Amino acid sequence: MKKIIKSSIFATMMLSTSSTVLAHNVAVIDMQKIFSQLPQMSTIEQTLQTEFSERRQEIEKLQGDIRFEAEKFKRESATMSKAQKTALTEKLQKMQQDFAAKARPLEQEIKTRQNQELSKVQALVLKAVESEAKASKIDEVKRKEALVYFDAKKIKDISAKIVERVSKLK
């Protein structure tokens, strides 16, 4: 008798567990697709271009000057005196040091600013995912990039809905 009761309890638990699994609603999002379609991303790009344009132009000019002097050295080194070669070599080294001293910090600053702006957009995306999941009664949302396989007929991609929600938040 006890064995029958245990078996029926176990069977009931298994049925309730399997119905819970079947009721589990999962969706996926494609983060790359989302970020590529958000209008906020082009706004960030334009903002950063404007913010760093003067310093980038200065570095590009310095790069051009270095190239010019290096080519000059190649062309004219055969006819230059030893003192002229030394002076031009020292000038090139100083220009390259100046370039490195300006370029590295600028690139780091640009990356820092990009990360700051991206984190703001990521926060908007996460809020939109949460809102969409609640509205669509989705139990779990996974990143498409992290999945090896999923059945597109059974698991829906809500990326377009996320783009739509975040785009409205401009």
Residue 135 has pLDDT above 50, yes or no: yes
Over residues 10-41, the pLDDT tens digits come to 444 444 444 445 558 999 999 999 999 999 99
Report the pLDDT value the prediction gives residue 13, as an integer from 0 to 100.
Answer: 46
Residue 141 parent element (H or E): strand 140-143
Of 128, 119, 153, 120, give the one whose Cα is nearest residue 26: 153
Residue 137 has pLDDT above 50, yes or no: yes
**Both structure tokens of 17:** 């567990």
How does residue 152 score in pLDDT terms, banded at 50, 70 and 90?
A: confident
Fill in the amino acid letter for 84. Q
Report the pLDDT value the prediction gives residue 23, as an integer from 0 to 100.
Answer: 57
How does residue 4 score in pLDDT terms, banded at 50, 70 and 90?
A: low
How does residue 52 score in pLDDT terms, banded at 50, 70 and 90?
A: very high
Of 118, 113, 154, 127, give the one whose Cα is nearest residue 35: 118
Of 133, 58, 135, 144, give the one whose Cα is nearest residue 95: 58
Cβ(145)–Cβ(30) below 8 Å: yes
Kindly list the distances between the CA atom of residue 137 and the CA atoms of 22, 24, 133, in Å, as whole numbers in the listed order.
14, 10, 6
Cβ(146)–Cβ(34) below 8 Å: no
Over residues 78-126, the pLDDT tens digits come to 898 999 999 999 999 999 999 999 999 999 999 999 999 999 999 999 9
The domain covering 25-167 belongs, at the CATH homologous superfamily level, to Skp domain (3.30.910.20)
Q: What is the mean pLDDT of the chain?
A: 87
Angle value at C-alpha 57, between 51 and 60, nearest 5 degrees: 135
